[in-house]
Chain A
């Protein structure tokens, strides 16, 4: 230190101090992600080993858990923390009421076996299961927040990539594979390298007819389907603060479609109002203490992100995809892009049966699907019902409305929304993933066009040869009425 006064090292000294200041700043001003990460480090990462990260909530479903339970059985291990583990079934389950409650069999034999296997595994290991006929069953990412078990500051994992949904409450939530499901069942921990942070600063008021779904599709269009790889996203800014919880969940849900394992939104009064009184949220004094703790979570001023992108939400139009990944997205009023000499692009449009340069608007539609962990919550159903009320869907169009959970179903029925759908000519069924990925037999026929409120327009996602156009519930409902891709603003008063 005494050597600092030497003129020769003066410049270096300033540099050192500047660097020191940088370090000090990044050490004190933390992002929300860093806080949650640090609070869950059982062992911090080193150059040679990843961090041992503690998991607060592990959600299980029938598709990605059987092989993990087999590993536990093979090694004679119990589930370590039954109080942090909750199972439900959603992917392979039928949506027809008679198959859930009426004793009719599940038509796909392997799906029936998978459902039975989850029942057996949960019974044998003592895991709580919200099973086929349970009144709190639903899509795993709908029921976590709905029950109040997803909470700010928690680490939440599930063997499903759309676990990013839970980040809307300020949780660090990400999808894992089946081997990792086994790790969490056995140890309540995961080995993880710390991801980088990416701020999406969203400002401006969304115009009428433009929804959270349109916003996240626009974001994916801007940063690309691999733009978030290696990052945890934090959605920030006045637009995000103005969204309700259902809308925030739609945003965080599709983080994975930009390649990011997790997306987070800082908890605020909107979050606390949503959680208060939910069955598994803290109650009484514990609630007050929890809120006090949660208020410490948001990213501090001056905290640095590894990457930042600004989005102006005020100029957005309703968005719709035209290709075979969610980044192939345009405003509904725009023509399909032209990319000569791009073989992958041409192959994608050939699969879709669409022409470069043609309008997407007025493209005939065969199937409309409203539901999924992206848009299967009560406010999504309300917004579809608002467009459909007093109208009929076009002849020849099949429309499926699938509530995200049995609770969403009950709420919708209490409000009479189901009658709006039925009167319009849509089918109203039990909750589940359904036509988002067609594992349960709810499929889009080959070559047909589906306007879907789900999250993936991959080849064959909704059925072999199915052509998926991702859009908001408003756009889906409007397109069902006209039987063509329709800008919902044309049908809104």
Chain B
């Protein structure tokens, strides 16, 4: 995983609440056996018509959305299935973070393991961002803050270990493999 210090970008806004992982990447694209190239299937059923032509009115297809790395979405983003294809698709498309008032557990965990930042903010901050698309904001991982255009810095929750992994590009598997001795001791000591 690549180390991340800050992300500065204009926002792209999807105001719907409860955007589930079937919307982020529909199940028919999950028959892949690799993690590459999923960006073209991101939000496929919202982004393309039945012929596969991009819908001009969908927010990601608008000219002003090009080059945006931060998605702002309604409450409870990423609910539904455990498919890690969801953060893989978001990252492959070029997005690096999502800001919402609530982010579903499994999606959040999958995102952190891939360096896609789940940023949970209060209702007022979210409402402001939802109604002001395209503003430039900065996410600072070390400070766990989101800086708004007026200079306000909003704290967001980020568990210490995840923060450490993001800042240093640490992969959790290496951390677990280093604990082999404890795992072996545990296995020897337990009854079942």
A464 to B75, CA, bound (A): 24
CB-nearest residue of chain B relative to A112?
A: B31
Task: Give, as a whole number of angstroms, the nearest-CB distance from A125 to chain B.
Answer: 15
Whether A187 lies near B18 (C-beta < 8 A) is no
Of the 9-residue stretches B2-10, B53-61, B148-156, B175-183, which lies at the interface with chain A? Answer: B175-183
Contacts A179-B113, A187-B183: A439 and B27 contacting too (C-beta < 8 A)? yes
Which of B30, B33, B159: most chain A CB closer than 10 A? B33
Cβ of B39 under 8 Å from chain A: no
User: How many residue pairs between the two chains, A and B, have CB atoms under 8 Å in the bound complex?
Assistant: 176
Residues of B within 8 A of A261 (CB): 105-106
Quote the shortest CB–CB distance from A436 to chain B (angstroms): 9
B84 to chain A, nearest CB (A): 4
- Interface segment among A43-51, A197-205, A308-316, A477-485: the answer is A43-51
Find out whether the CB atom of B22 lies under 8 angstroms from the CB atom of A439: no
A:294-339 near B, CB below 8 Å: 325, 327
In the complex, are the beta carbons of B76 and A229 less than 8 A apart? yes
Check A193 against B159 for contact (C-beta < 8 Å).
yes
Chain B residue with the shortest CB-CB distance to A154: B192
A225 at interface by CB-CB < 8 Å: yes
User: Which of A7-15, A64-72, A415-423 lies on the face that meets chain B?
Assistant: A64-72
Chain A 186-213 interface mask (CB, 8 Å, partner B; 1/0): 1111010101000000000000000000
Q: Smallest CB-CB separation from B17: which chain A residue?
A: A344
How many angstroms between the C-alpha atoms of A404 and B20 in the bound complex? 24
Interface flag for A438 (CB, 8 Å) = yes
Let me know if B76 and A460 touch, CB within 8 A. no
Question: Is B23's CB under 8 angstroms from A226's CB?
Answer: no
Let me know if A54 and B183 touch, CB within 8 A: yes
Minimum CB distance partner of B36 in chain A = A67
Chain B residues whose CB sits within 8 angstroms of the CB of A226 once the complex forms: 18, 75-76, 79, 102, 104
Closest residue on chain B to residue A117 by CB atoms: B33
A460 neighbours in B (Cβ, 8 Å): 22-23, 26, 45
Give A440-462 as 1s and 0s: 1 = Cβ < 8 Å from B's Cβ atoms: 00000010000000001011110
A50 touches B179 (CB 8 A): no
Q: Which of B95-142 contact A (CB under 8 A)?
A: 102, 104-106, 109-110, 113-114
CB nearest neighbor in B for A174: B106
Interface size class of B (residues with CB under 8 A): 35 or more
Report the separation of the CA atoms of residues A278 and B177 in the bound assembly, to the nearest whole angstrom. 35
The reply to whether A161 and B82 contact each other, CB–CB distance below 8 Å, is: yes
Would you call B80 and A344 a contact (CB within 8 A)? no
Is A225 within 8 A of B18, CB to CB? yes
Task: Please judge, given known A-B contacts A183-B172, A347-B16, A458-B80, whether A67 and B34 are in contact too, CB under 8 Å.
Answer: yes
Residues from chain A with a CB closer than 8 A to the CB of B84 are: 64, 67, 159, 177-179
- Indicate if the CB atoms of A63 and B34 lie closer than 8 Å: no
Q: Is the CB of A48 within 8 A of B161?
A: yes
- Give the nearest-CB partner of A464 in chain B: B45
Distance in Å from the Cβ of B73 to the closest Cβ of chain A? 11
- Does B35 belong to the interface (CB within 8 Å)? yes
**B157-182 toward A: CB 8 Å interface, digit per residue (1/0)?**
00111001000000011011101101
**Is B15 a contact of A191 with CB atoms below 8 Å?**
no
- Contacts A177-B106, A187-B183, A456-B20 known; A259 to B79 CB distance under 8 Å? yes
B172 lies within 8 A of A191 (CB)? yes
How far does the Cβ of A417 sit from chain B's closest Cβ, in whole Å? Answer: 28
The interface size bin for chain A is: 35 or more
- Is there contact, CB below 8 Å, between B31 and A114? yes
Contacts of A372 in B (CB 8 A): none
Let me know if A179 and B114 touch, CB within 8 A: yes
The answer on a CB contact under 8 Å between A188 and B102 is: no
State A70–B36 Cα separation when bound (angstroms): 13
A147 interface residue per 8 A CB criterion: no
Which residue of the partner chain B has the closest CB to A440?
B31
Checking B15, B23, B186 against A344 with a beta-carbon cut-off of 8 angstroms, the contacting residue is B15
User: Could you give, for residues 25-58 of chain A, a 1 whenever the CB lies within 8 Å of some chain B CB and a 0 otherwise?
Assistant: 0000000000000010011000111101010100
**Interfacial chain B residues near A67, Cβ < 8 Å:** 33-35, 84
Asked if B31 contacts A113 (CB within 8 A), the reply is yes
Contacts of A52 in B (CB 8 A): 176, 179, 182-183
- Report B175 CB to chain A, min CB distance, Å: 7
Given contacts A161-B81, A187-B183, contact A458 B75 (CB under 8 A): no
Is the CB–CB distance between A259 and B104 below 8 Å? yes
Closest to B171 in A: A179
Among candidates A63, A77, A178, A195, residue contacting B31 with C-beta atoms closer than 8 Å: A63
Q: How far is the CA of A458 from the CA of B25 in the complex (A)?
A: 12
Q: How far is the CA of A226 from the CA of B35 in the complex (A)?
A: 28
Q: Which residue of A lies closest to B45 (CB)?
A: A460
A193 to B105, alpha carbons, bound, how many Å?
Answer: 11
- What CA separation (Å) do A46 and B146 show in the bound complex? 26
Residues 264-304 of A, flagged 1 when their CB comes within 8 A of B and 0 if not, give 00000000000000000000000000000100000000000
Closest B residue by C-beta to A75 = B173
Interface residues of A (CB under 8 A from B): 39, 42-43, 47-50, 52, 54, 56, 63-64, 66-67, 70-71, 75, 77, 91-92, 108, 110-111, 113-114, 117, 159-161, 163, 175-180, 182-183, 186-189, 191, 193, 195, 225-226, 229-230, 256, 259, 261, 293, 325, 327, 343-344, 347, 437-439, 446, 456, 458-461, 464
* Chain B residues packing against A (C-beta within 8 Å): 15-18, 20, 22-23, 26-28, 30-35, 45, 50, 74-76, 79-84, 102, 104-106, 109-110, 113-114, 159-161, 164, 172-173, 175-177, 179-180, 182-183, 186-187, 190-192
Beyond A161-B106, A175-B106, A344-B17, 4 additional pairs, beta carbon < 8 A? A43-B179, A52-B183, A66-B33, A459-B22
